[in-house]
Structure 1
Amino acid sequence: MPLMPVLIDLLSRASHALGFETVDRFPRNHLHARTHWDRAYFDIASDLKPDAIERSLCASIDNTPSVFAHIANPTPAMQRTLLGVIDARLRRSCGAPTDLVTLLIDAYRSPYTIEARPGLRAAIDATEGLALHERVHAVLAFLGAMPAAFDVIEAQD
């Protein structure tokens, strides 16, 4: 067996273990293994644990909500982060956060996106066939009708 491929493989494994590479998804056996993201928008070191990865992605969404568009099958925590940004914009009366609600609607096109709020998928699916602005307003109405919809504190493990 040639020595060069073996050395390259060992170097690659070491680089991954030391966090010099970036990852674009959770580990295969993780609950959210179908969630993946575009490496161009998220610099997630390969040595991070899944909880730290999720916290990092949520922090990115909180800082720059438009990056949510570059996540396929976002986790419920990622969706709640986006919902919090939507809520903050509504409270500041910055106008309807149409762009962010559209990102949420797009995320639910995948059957693998896990519902962040009970009834959210049904509310989004019920708007299928409507114009985008009508869909956005229907989803906002659903979210606004939920008591304490955004005031959820997540326990850290």
Structure 2
Amino acid sequence: MSEKKIKNIFVDGPIKPAFIADSIAKHSEKTAIGGHSIFMGQVRKDEIEGKFISAIDYTAYEDLALEKMHQIREDIFEKYPLNCMHIYHSLGKVKTGEICLFVFTSSAHRKPAIAACSEVVDRLKAELPIWGKEIFEDETHQWKENI
């Protein structure tokens, strides 16, 4: 693994639209970029056994998750010709309709940005020790299945 600094991907609570807009706006000066791909995960108001979800409370084994995310970043940068990649995941309570995951990849051309973004999301969901507790409108809860 390289000597690059491990980046903290975690955000307390939901990822705010202004933060996302600012992240995108900062790239207008980077003129070698020709394509961006963005994935935003939003908490759905799913109905499960007649009850509706009102929020998800995210927890993680943070140190291990950050180490694993660092390795995923290294793998993705090695595999795709990216200019940059930004990843943010919520911890704590995120209400339905709010953003809990923001992945933003950029490259000279669209195809690597799109493929890298998709792979990051798939690997993050499969490999990182992050859990979500679904909170229902009646305040009961259950652990979320990560699909």
Specify the TM-score bucket, using the shorter chain as the normaliser.
under 0.3
Give the greater-gyration-radius structure (CA). 1
Compute the TM-score of the two structures, normalised by the length of structure 2: 0.28
Bigger share in strand: 2
Bigger share in helix: 1
- Relative CO higher for 1 or 2, CA cutoff 8 Å, sep ≥ 6? 2
